[in-house]
Structure 1
Amino acid sequence: MRDQPTWRIPFGILGLLLALTVYGIVIARYAPDLIGSWPTLAQTLVYIVLGVIWLLPLKRFLIWMETGRWG
């Protein structure tokens, strides 16, 4: 447990919010143009994958926020 506050947590939260905002805007801007003519079920699957894919780097990012190490 930490005794002193660290700059990594607020910086990490702001960075995560910024990255998710940019990711969401990019997906909302380009995905409909690419998959708009696909069948509804295929579009649903693509959006589910795109909605979950941002979780892949989250574990290492949260570890960095807590410990300062990437692994």
Structure 2
Amino acid sequence: MTKPANPPSWRKPVGMFAILAIILIWAVLVVSASEYIGQLHILAQAIIYLIAGIVWIAPLRPLLIWIETGSFSAPPEV
């Protein structure tokens, strides 16, 4: 049996748990603010929840780069 070319990295499971933690923390923050958001006009609520549904993705790019490369910044393009 041959060894895999690239042995599994510990960064992948750590990154997976970090992604789950980011989602959990963001969901708790949004839910804790829902009492105040619920008092706003329905259009304002829709805009806030739309933005909240997109913003949590922002920290994922550097995290995914770190999982693959070990560095938080993207490698230079060739």
- Which TM-score tier does this pair reach, normalised by the shorter chain? 0.7 to 0.9
Which of the pair has the greater relative contact order for Cα pairs under 8 Å at 6+ separation? Answer: 1
CA RMSD of aligned residues (A): 1.2
Percent of aligned pairs with the same amino acid: 33
Partner residue of 2:42 out of 35, 40, 43: 40
Structure 1 position 57, deviation (Å): 1.6
Structure 2 counterpart of 1:23, one-letter code: W
1:17 is the counterpart of 2:20? yes
Structure 1 position 15, deviation (Å): 1.2
Q: Give the 5 Å matches for 1:1-71.
A: 3-29=6-32, 31-71=33-73
Question: Which runs of no fewer than 5 residues in structure 1 stay unpaired?
Answer: none
| TM-score with structure 2 setting the length | 0.80
Aligned length: 69
Structure 1 position 20, deviation (Å): 0.8
Structure 1 counterpart of 2:72, one-letter code: W
Moved over 3 A (4+): none
Structure 1 position 36, deviation (Å): 1.6
Question: Which runs of no fewer than 5 residues in structure 2 stay unpaired?
Answer: 74-78
Per residue, is there more helix in 1 or in 2?
1
